[in-house]
């Protein structure tokens, strides 16, 4: 194609996307919830849920008292709500187009930018990064060796076994790591490294030596990395870090444009993302959401134009803008007739990119313990049993440092987006991230109305209703789209699953559960190595296999052989799995005024059943009941060989959800 033809093609794409241009946009105004497959009443639970948490936490708890939540299904907006305030003083109401610093939600955008160049044949995923950034061609790898006799640690540098590739940058297997965010607070300086481990010392070295400043360029930053060591051999370890910022510089070199210009011309303008960029212009500052802390760290002062275009964390955006980006991905790379990526590129990005045997270091978002893996820019849900949030296998997502979060569920054609600002590690961030919005969105999905039944209604006796009284446990999921497998209804919990890593000889405990747990109370400590579970050695097993052995019914005992840190021999330890009530989804059935009634008593409502709301059930057969609600909810009871009720099934059929009885009789 000639240069003139390329320019005309690009100009046409921009013309289709400028403000005022006519384009089919169903992502601006929420449509009818019921026609989109939601219960309007259950979607209405979302804003009060957030508001209750804003009233429970204050800015001193690290949570700004406001949010914007968006949900789309089938390419249409189902829910868009501004909740609370966009300032710490609670004087400026939040707007649906309030502007947030999205931090690491910048990374998927940068990954798409790179894949645009891959689509065009200008960038090779498996080429050494040094082909595009020669200054990184001689990076070596740090190692630590400990003398078994003296305990003395020795540090040094090894040559890389192979060069880091562009693919490594996209999947965080480059060996480039983050410092511990101290680079954002330069006034702190270096910590006392004498008491730090070797890896922490190296992380701090990154923060001290790397030139990652708003008044410097990506080229300056990459040049400063050239003399630093890699934390891991390229391709061997997935560790979150500066890979995507380096990828942004690759995009600059390959495209011949500054990174901000490339994003604006190839992603933001074509997708009509009018409020997304590396800073907030003067005329839009009134929509910028406050920092959750008294002062915004200097590196993330988004009120003035930077020289550093951080593809790893520098972008600001709005819920409507980022929703369009997500919809483009869900559509296979196209939105409103404008193609940004090929379907093949989107599929490659949202498919597991970590080879078998890749070690996963740090964080709780990726790995067997979280039920996820990583693609080329996204976390991908692969294990619904281990995952702590509902959704289909194949859903992909990511979050930002201050709590912005999105997920895309191709199975349900569903997008969910949460925009908040909360301090990392704060109680406020922990209360909102990866919990409410997922459960509330999936819990609002409507159940198709069943075909009419030929059975005649019946009136059961009060004595027969007593058979159904009790507590029924659905596990941790509110969604009929999320099949986790029925246990005995009392899923056991040890309190270490999110804080472990698999080593050659067993399961290493990285840190104790902040909230305690049965294993911690039994004496399991950070640094311990579990070598056997129930007399079976763990050597050679994968982390997923070991986590499966840790799981089991509540109130059962698991036996471990454990080597405490600093001890030579192994000792035996028994831990009783607890019933993790905090995350349970449960129904309490009882008889009131001669009728069977149900109430949700767990952590989350399920369908129309809520805590504090008693819902009467109408008998339609001996062991079947219905509810007079929008979903025409049906409840069937299952009996065991002895004739006792053992299970409850909501809406028997393709959308059914099963719960096991865990307590019989009145609450």
Instruction: State pLDDT tens for residues 382-431.
Output: 887 777 677 888 999 999 999 999 999 999 999 999 999 998 877 777 77
546 and 657 fall within a common domain: no
Cβ–Cβ under 8 Å, residues 46 and 81: yes
Range with the poorest average pLDDT among 222-226, 335-339, 458-462 = 458-462
**387 falls within a domain:** no
Question: Tokens 């799981």 appear where?
Answer: 551
CB-based contacts of 434, cutoff 8 Å, min separation 6: 388, 389, 399, 405
Cβ–Cβ under 8 Å, residues 444 and 45: yes
204 and 187 fall within a common domain: yes
601 and 474 fall within a common domain: yes
Q: Classify 208 as helix, strand or coil.
A: helix
What pLDDT score was predicted for residue 202? 47
573 and 591 fall within a common domain: no
State yes or no: pLDDT of 151 exceeds 80. no
Mean pLDDT, range 537-560, rounded to an integer: 79
pLDDT in tens, 477-495: 777 776 544 344 445 566 6
What are the backbone dihedrals phi and psi of residue 643, each rounded to the nearest 5 degrees, phi first? 90, 5
User: Which pairing describes strands 529-533 and 536-537: parallel, antiparallel, or unpaired?
Assistant: antiparallel
**199 falls within a domain:** yes
What are the start-end ranges of the E strands in 382-504?
A: 396-399, 405-409, 414-419, 470-473, 492-493, 500-503
510 and 553 fall within a common domain: yes
467 and 616 fall within a common domain: yes
**357 falls within a domain:** no
Burial class (CB in 10 A: 0-12, 13-18, 19+), 508: middle
Residue 394, both tokens: 């194949």
464-468's contacts with Cβ under 8 Å and 24+ in sequence apart are: 464/622, 465/591, 465/594, 465/595, 465/596, 466/591, 467/637, 467/644, 467/645, 468/589, 468/596, 468/637, 468/645
State yes or no: pLDDT of 198 exceeds 80. no
What pLDDT score was predicted for residue 48? 95
Cβ–Cβ under 8 Å, residues 628 and 467: no
Residue 607 β-bridge partners: none
What pLDDT score was predicted for residue 487? 41
**477 falls within a domain:** yes
563 and 484 fall within a common domain: no
Give the DSSP H or E segment for 152: none
The CATH number of the domain holding residue 643 is 2.40.128.50
The sign of the dihedral angle between the CA atoms of 72, 415, 479, 69 is negative
pLDDT in tens, 281-335: 999 999 999 999 888 888 889 999 999 999 999 999 999 999 999 999 999 999 9
**123 falls within a domain:** no
What are the backbone dihedrals phi and psi of residue 65, each rounded to the nearest 5 degrees, phi first? -85, 50
Residue 579 β-bridge partners: 492
144 and 164 fall within a common domain: yes
Please state, in angstroms and rounded to a whole number, the distance separating the CA atoms of residues 113 and 119. 10
Cβ–Cβ under 8 Å, residues 100 and 317: yes
Q: Classify 153 as helix, strand or coil.
A: strand
Please state, in angstroms and rounded to a whole number, the distance separating the CA atoms of residues 429 and 418. 12
What are the backbone dihedrals phi and psi of residue 536, each rounded to the nearest 5 degrees, phi first? -110, 125
Residue 529 β-bridge partners: 508, 563
Please state, in angstroms and rounded to a whole number, the distance separating the CA atoms of residues 408 and 398. 10
Cβ–Cβ under 8 Å, residues 348 and 111: no
473 and 568 fall within a common domain: no
Q: How many other CB atoms sit within 10 Å of the CB of residue 191?
A: 14
Dump the DSSP string for 312-372.
TT--EE-HHHHHHHHHHHHTTSEETTEE-S-HHHHHHHTS--SPTT-EE-S-SSSBGGGTE
Residue 192: pLDDT band (50, 70, 90) is very low
Residue 159: pLDDT band (50, 70, 90) is very high
Residue 596: pLDDT band (50, 70, 90) is very high
560 and 516 fall within a common domain: yes
What are the backbone dihedrals phi and psi of residue 237, each rounded to the nearest 5 degrees, phi first? -135, 135
Residue 363: pLDDT band (50, 70, 90) is low
What are the backbone dihedrals phi and psi of residue 587, each rounded to the nearest 5 degrees, phi first? -120, 135
Q: Indicate the residue among 528, 563, 579 that finishes a domain.
A: 579
419 and 566 fall within a common domain: no
Higher pLDDT pick, 42 / 391: 42
The CATH number of the domain holding residue 294 is 3.40.710.10
Please state, in angstroms and rounded to a whole number, the distance separating the CA atoms of residues 666 and 646. 16
State yes or no: pLDDT of 541 exceeds 70. yes
What are the start-end ranges of the E strands in 227-318?
A: 237-238, 316-317
**359 falls within a domain:** no
User: Crossing angle for the helix pair 319-330 and 106-119, nearest 10 degrees?
Assistant: 40
Range with the poorest average pLDDT among 9-23, 83-97, 378-392, 512-526 = 9-23
Q: Count how many residues are written for the chain.
A: 667
Give the residue among 200, 128, 130 at the shortest CA–CA distance from 167.
128
Mean pLDDT, range 157-163, rounded to an integer: 93
Please state, in angstroms and rounded to a whole number, the distance separating the CA atoms of residues 98 and 301. 16
- What is the number of helices (H) and of strands (E) in the chain? 16, 32
Q: Classify 461 as helix, strand or coil.
A: coil
Give the CA distances from residue 537 to residues 532, 540, 562, in Å, rounded to whole numbers and listed in that order. Answer: 4, 9, 11
Residue 637 β-bridge partners: 648
Mean pLDDT of the chain: 84
Give the CA distances from residue 12 to residues 5, 21, 277, 343, 387, in Å, rounded to whole numbers and listed in that order. Answer: 11, 11, 22, 22, 44
Residue span of the structural domain in which 309 resides: 3-108+273-350+401-443
Give the residue among 367, 381, 468, 430 at the shortest CA–CA distance from 582.
430
Give the DSSP H or E segment for 78: strand 76-84
Mean pLDDT, range 595-604, rounded to an integer: 90
The CATH number of the domain holding residue 504 is 2.30.42.10
Cβ–Cβ under 8 Å, residues 247 and 164: no
Please state, in angstroms and rounded to a whole number, the distance separating the CA atoms of residues 47 and 67. 9
Q: Indicate the residue among 579, 596, 618 that finishes a domain.
A: 579
Q: Classify 474 as helix, strand or coil.
A: coil
Mean pLDDT, range 622-638, rounded to an integer: 87
Give the residue among 38, 41, 45 at the shortest CA–CA distance from 440.
45
32 and 139 fall within a common domain: no
- Where b means 16+ CB within 10 Å and e means fewer, 323-333 reads bbbbbbbbbbb
Please state, in angstroms and rounded to a whole number, the distance separating the CA atoms of residues 494 and 451. 43
Count of structural domains within the chain: 4
Residue 232, both tokens: 């891991």
CB-based contacts of 460, cutoff 8 Å, min separation 6: 596, 619, 622
**367 falls within a domain:** no
Q: Indicate the residue among 255, 286, 317 that finishes a domain.
A: 255
State yes or no: pLDDT of 63 exceeds 80. yes
Higher pLDDT pick, 53 / 198: 53
**331 falls within a domain:** yes
Rg over alpha carbons for the chain, rounded to the nearest Å, is 27
């Amino acid at each position: 194609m000639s240069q003139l033809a390329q320019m005309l093609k690009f100009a046409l794409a921009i013309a289709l996307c400028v403000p005022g241009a006519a384009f089919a946009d169903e992502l601006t105004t929420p449509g009818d919830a019921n026609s989109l497959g939601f219960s309007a009443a259950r979607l209405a639970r979302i804003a009060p849920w957030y508001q209750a948490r804003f009233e429970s936490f204050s800015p001193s708890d690290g949570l700004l008292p406001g949010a914007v939540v968006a949900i789309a299904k089938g390419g249409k907006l189902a829910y868009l709500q501004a909740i609370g305030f966009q300032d710490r003083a609670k004087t400026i109401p939040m707007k649906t187009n309030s502007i947030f610093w999205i931090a690491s939600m910048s990374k998927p955008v940068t990954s798409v930018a790179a894949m645009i160049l891959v689509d065009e044949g200008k960038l090779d995923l498996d080429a050494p990064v040094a082909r595009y950034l020669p200054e990184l061609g001689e990076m070596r790898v740090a190692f630590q060796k400990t003398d078994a006799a003296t305990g003395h640690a020795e540090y040094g540098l090894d040559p890389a076994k192979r060069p880091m590739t562009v693919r490594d940058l996209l999947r965080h297997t480059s060996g480039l790591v983050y410092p511990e965010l101290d680079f954002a607070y330069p006034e702190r300086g270096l910590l006392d490294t004498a008491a730090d481990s070797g890896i922490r010392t190296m992380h701090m070295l990154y923060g001290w030596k790397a030139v990652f400043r708003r008044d410097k360029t990506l080229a300056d930053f990459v040049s400063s990395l050239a003399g630093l060591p890699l934390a891991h051999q390229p391709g061997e370890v997935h560790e979150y870090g500066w890979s995507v910022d380096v990828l942004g510089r690759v995009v600059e070199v390959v495209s011949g444009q500054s990174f901000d210009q490339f994003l604006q011309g190839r992603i933001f303008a074509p997708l009509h993302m009018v409020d997304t960029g590396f800073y907030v212009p003067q005329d839009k500052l009134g929509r910028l959401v406050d920092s959750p802390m008294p002062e915004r760290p200097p590196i993330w002062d988004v009120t003035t134009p930077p020289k550093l275009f951080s593809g790893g964390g520098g972008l600001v955006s709005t819920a409507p803008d980022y929703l369009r980006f997500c919809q483009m991905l869900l559509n296979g790379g196209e939105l409103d007739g404008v193609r940004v990526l090929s379907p093949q590129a989107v599929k490659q990005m949202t498919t597991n990119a970590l080879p078998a045997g890749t070690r996963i270091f740090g964080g709780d978002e990726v790995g067997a313990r979280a039920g996820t893996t990583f693609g080329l820019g996204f976390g991908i849900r692969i294990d619904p049993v281990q995952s702590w949030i509902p959704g289909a296998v194949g859903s992909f997502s990511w979050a930002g440092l201050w709590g912005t979060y999105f997920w895309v569920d191709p199975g349900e054609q569903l997008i969910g987006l949460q925009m908040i600002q909360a301090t990392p590690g704060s109680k406020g961030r922990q209360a909102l991230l990866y919990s409410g919005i997922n459960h509330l969105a999936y819990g609002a999905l409507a159940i198709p109305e069943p075909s009419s039944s030929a059975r005649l209604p019946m009136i059961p006796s009060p004595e027969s209703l007593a058979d159904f009284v009790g507590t029924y446990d659905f596990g941790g999921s509110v969604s009929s789209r999320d099949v986790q497998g029925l246990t005995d209804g009392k899923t056991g919990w040890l309190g270490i699953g999110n804080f472990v890593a698999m080593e050659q000889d067993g399961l290493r405990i990285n840190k104790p559960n902040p909230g305690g747990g049965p294993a911690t109370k039994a004496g399991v400590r950070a640094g311990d190595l579990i070598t056997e579970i129930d007399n079976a050695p763990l050597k050679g097993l994968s982390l997923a296999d070991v986590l499966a052995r840790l799981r089991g019914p509540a109130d059962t005992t698991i036996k471990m052989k454990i080597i405490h840190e600093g001890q030579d021999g192994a000792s035996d330890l028994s831990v009783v799995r607890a019933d993790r009530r905090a995350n349970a989804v449960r129904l309490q059935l009882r008889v009131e005024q001669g009728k069977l009634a149900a109430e949700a008593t767990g952590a989350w409502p399920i369908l129309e059943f809520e805590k504090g709301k008693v819902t009467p059930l109408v008998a339609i057969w001996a062991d079947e009941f219905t509810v007079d609600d929008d979903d025409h909810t049906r409840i069937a009871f299952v009996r065991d060989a002895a004739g006792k009720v053992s299970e409850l099934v909501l809406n028997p059929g393709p959308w059914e959800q099963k719960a096991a009885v865990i307590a019989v009789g009145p609450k």
